[in-house]
């Protein structure tokens, strides 16, 4: 997938996208970074099924740490919360889906991510700085 962030106006670039999060984590070799890398690997495998509130229990339990410990590790290493990581992964997937078929409507992309259109729209704008329609125009 081409790096679509280069196509977005700088004012609309996301705070941290999935690729930035992974790259930031890979450059740190601390123990907290290993836990954070393990968390990101779990997110990669489970982001579609574990994104509701129980995810705050699911990921720390799988990693053998407390929810607060996970939050602190993520904040220290990648400077975003665990929930932001899951959201960033969802938006990365949405962009991949749209990159494959640019004729898809927002509703169809949201359906593929098992999200309702309203929440997908808000999340998409939060992470890209653009509405889905404006995003489509920007990359077309």
> Does residue 59 carry a pLDDT above 60?
yes
> Which has the closest alpha carbon to 41: 89, 83, 92?
89
Residue 103: inside a domain? yes
| 124 falls within a domain | yes
- Angle CA(60)–CA(61)–CA(63) in degrees, nearest 5? 65
Asked, for residue 84, whether it belongs to a domain, the answer is yes
Does residue 99 surpass a pLDDT of 80?
yes
Q: Per residue in 42-58, pLDDT tens?
A: 999 988 875 655 667 88
Is residue 4 domain-resident?
no
Residue 54 inside a domain? The answer is yes
Mean pLDDT of 17-35: 82
DSSP tag of 50: S
Q: Is 64 exposed, middle or buried (0-12, 13-18, 19+ CB in 10 A)?
A: exposed
Predicted confidence at residue 89, as pLDDT, reads 93
Amino acid 126: pLDDT: 92
Is residue 88 included in any domain, yes or no?
yes
Which domain CATH number covers 19? 1.10.10.60
Q: Which residues neighbour 49 within 8 Å (Cβ) at sequence distance 6 or greater?
A: none
Please, are residues 98 and 63 in contact by the beta-carbon 8 Å criterion?
Answer: no
């Amino acid at each position: 997938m081409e790096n679509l962030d280069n196509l977005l106006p700088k004012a609309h670039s996301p705070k941290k996208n999935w690729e930035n999060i992974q790259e930031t984590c890979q450059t740190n070799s601390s123990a907290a970074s290993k836990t954070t890398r393990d968390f990101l690997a779990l997110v990669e495998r489970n982001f579609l099924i574990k994104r509701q509130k129980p995810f705050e229990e699911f990921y720390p339990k799988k990693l053998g740490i407390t929810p607060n410990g996970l939050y602190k590790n993520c904040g220290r290493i990648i400077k975003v919360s665990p929930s932001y990581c899951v959201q960033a992964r969802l938006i990365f997937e949405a962009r991949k889906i749209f990159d494959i078929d640019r004729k898809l409507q927002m509703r169809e992309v949201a359906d593929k991510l098992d999200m309702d259109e309203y929440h997908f729209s808000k999340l998409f704008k939060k992470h890209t700085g653009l509405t889905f329609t404006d995003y489509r125009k920007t990359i077309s």
